[in-house]
Amino acid sequence: MKYVLMVIAFIVLSACNHKEKKVNEQTNPNIIFIYLDDLGYGDVSAYGATELETPNMDFLANNGRKFVNGYATSATCTPSRYALLTGQYPWRNRNAKILPGTAPLLIDTTQTTVPKMLRNNGYNTAVIGKWHLGLGTGNVDWNSHISPGPNEVGFDYSFIMAATQDRVPTVYIKNGYVFNHNSEDPIEIDYKNNFSGEPTGENSPHLLKMKGDPQHNRTIVNGVPRIGHMKGGQSARWIDEDMADIFLDEVKAYVKKEKDQPFFLYYGLQQPHVPRTPHPRFVGATGMGPRGDVIAEADWCIGELIKTLKEVGVLENTLIFLSSDNGPVLDDGYEDDAIEKLGKHTPTGNLRGGKYSLYEAGTRVPFITYWKGHIEPGVSTEIISQVDWLSSLSNLIKQPVNNLDSENHLDLLLGKSVKGRSDIILEATSRTAYRQGDWVLIPPYPGPKMFLTKGIETGNSSEFQLYNLADDISQQNNLAEKMPEKRDEMMAAFISIVGDAYKQTSRLKFD
């Protein structure tokens, strides 16, 4: 009898324990940001692409919440990533522009960041993939400890590329040290001058397997000419075709290692940014040339991550965000058939503009949340921005932060039918525009209307532009002259938020 009672007590106790663990699990899920580079609104089949298949991104979209009015803060990388991690609009920081590989760390080490906030609340945190937020304090010595960097703004673990795939240094950096570094072959970097005797795309075109434009024609690494000059570090130089697998292996190992505690993983995939270098397994996967093939490769990597989460038993306990840092571009400096082999595919969907543009395709991107068993599948038309992830997550872990720009939209992100943002500032190459409800106001800006080589409209005009997205999603019908009251009302609301940041870049005169 005594024995039976003991067994019953044991069963009851373990059931309670189990329950307690469940409650805990529900309040503190693992969090993963899957963040692609230059993936367009129309590049995902769940968002309407018909010429390209992205089954794993579709799985997240169709079994989670698919946002069709979800935004990156900016139409380029560095500012969007800055906002993603700090919850602050990038136009508040004058240095938040596309950074060279030698730029100092853009985030102040005293600033609130998503990883810091989560780490302070019991999470283990990691960034694997593209960084592009600067490193060090200027004049980085690539041959010793590189700091401050991701590990000083909240990440316990970092395995990154410093800037972009088309910029030197073309090496991975693990926790502040160049990976596979050899002290007998020190690394030197110079964005202005070449090192004597070093081959560049310009002086040694016979060494190239891909041609670059004059900006992408400096040091040749792995047959690809880059932006900037690099000397040394031969053993550390990456092989572009292996990059997806290298980052994915890191991601898998991290998930397996940290599966028993809450973790935050920022997985910054390098695709489909230039140079587009699919692994041979994916060459020809889409018939669309390297740009399509690297999207297929990225989608496969996402599938492998989902599989790993399942395998180690944490898929039900992991909140996944998927998005892109800015809109799509075809020709971004290399000859890779992106235009020639595009066929009927439309990377922008039916949106106007693209990467670098103030029109919708610059910043409106695929935007998905997935949490098995917690988010009811569905589509949301509410306005939401990546800048809101910080406040929303602070509410998820019940440690709300005060933040000017980052709004708490936790319920919306978790699939409830609640209102999103009422308005949002959109940014493209230091210019800003304003969306309020269905209305978009693009104030006048100097400069060309078109990036000629890219075939992308900038959004610049000597006139005000006012569009109503409810019946004009492609921004074809400028209502600014017909509706001066609406235009002025929008302009006043816009200036009340952006103020001086707009005045500095505007073509209008302010007293």
Tell me the per-residue interface mask from 230 to 269 with ligand NG6, x by CB under 6 A, - otherwise: ----------------------------------------
Interface characters, 116-155, with ligand NG6 (x: CB under 6 A): ----------------x-----------------------
Burial tier of 509 (Cβ tally within 10 Å: 0-12, 13-18, 19+): exposed
Written as one string, the DSSP assignment of 174-190 is: ETTEETT--TTS--EEE
Shortest separation between residue 25's beta carbon and ligand NG6, angstroms: 36
Q: What is the DSSP string of 22-56?
A: HHHHHHS-EEEEEEESS--TTSSGGGT-SSS--HH
Helix (H, G, I), strand (E, B) or coil at 67: strand
Q: Which listed option, Ca ion, ligand NG6, none, makes contact with residue 101 (CB within 5 to 8 Å by class)?
A: none
Residue of this chain nearest to ligand NG6 (CB atom)? 77
Q: What single letter denotes the amino acid at residue 509? A: K
Give the one entry of ligand NG6, Ca ion, none that residue 164 binds, where binding means its C-beta sits below a cut-off of 5 to 8 angstroms depending on kind: ligand NG6
Long-range CB pairs of 8-14 (<8 Å, 24+ gap) are: none
Minimum distance, C-beta of residue 485 to ligand NG6, in the bound complex (Å): 37
Give the dihedral of Cα atoms 19, 22, 24, 28; nearest 10 deg: -170
Q: Which does 239 bind (CB under 5 to 8 A by kind): Ca ion, ligand NG6, none?
A: none
- For the bound state, the minimum distance from the C-beta of residue 214 to ligand NG6, rounded and expressed in Å, comes to 8
Under the criterion CB under 5 A, does residue 326 sit at the interface with Ca ion?
yes
Of 458, 440, 456, give the one whose Cα is nearest residue 507.
458
213-221, 274-282, 325-333, 451-459 -> range binding Ca ion (CB under 5 A): 325-333
Q: Residue 206 half-sphere exposure, CB side, CA atoms within 13 Å?
A: 0
Nearer to ligand NG6 by Cβ, of 274 and 469: the residue is 274
Q: 172-186 burial, b if ≥16 CB within 10 A, otherwise e?
A: bbbbbbbeebeeeee
Pick from 410, 405, 445: which is nearest to 425 by CA? 405
Binding segment for ligand NG6 (CB under 6 A), chosen from 120-128, 325-333, 336-344, 459-467, is: 325-333
Q: Is 227 in the site for ligand NG6 (CB under 6 A)?
A: yes
Cβ burial 434-448 (10 Å sphere, 16+ → b, else e): bbbeebbbbbebeee
Q: Which is nearer to ligand NG6, 29 or 353 (CB)?
A: 353
Cis omega before residue 148 (within 30°)?
yes
Selection from ligand NG6, Ca ion, none that 274 binds (CB < 5 to 8 A by kind) is ligand NG6
487 binds, among Ca ion, ligand NG6, none (CB under 5 to 8 A by kind): none
The entry of ligand NG6, Ca ion, none near residue 262 (CB within 5 to 8 angstroms by kind) is none
Handedness of CA 241, 247, 252, 256 (dihedral sign): positive
Among residues 228 and 415, whose Cβ is nearest to ligand NG6?
228
Compare residues 132 and 279 and give the one whose CB is closer to ligand NG6.
Answer: 132
Q: Least separation, in Å, of the C-beta of 122 and ligand NG6?
A: 33
Of the candidate residues 28, 30, 31, 38, the single one contacting Ca ion (CB under 5 A): 38
CB of 325 to Ca ion, least distance (A): 4
Give the alpha-carbon dihedral of 83, 86, 90, 92, to 10 degrees: 150
- The answer to whether 295 and 235 are in contact (CB under 8 A) is no
Cis before 169 (ω within 30)? yes
CA proximity to 323, closest of 393, 379, 267, 391: 267
Interactions with ligand NG6, residue window 65-84 (CB under 6 A): 76-77
Which residues does 203 contact at the CB level (< 8 Å), separation at least 6? Answer: none
Instruction: Choose which of 56, 125, 164, 348 interacts with ligand NG6 (CB under 6 A).
Output: 164
Question: Closest distance between ligand NG6 and the C-beta of residue 16, in Å?
Answer: 50
Name which position in 57, 77, 255, 433 contacts Ca ion (CB under 5 A): 77
Where do contacts with Ca ion occur on this chain (CB under 5 A)? 37-38, 77, 325-326
Where do contacts with ligand NG6 occur on this chain (CB under 6 A)? 37-38, 76-77, 98, 132, 164, 166, 215, 227, 273-274, 326, 332-333
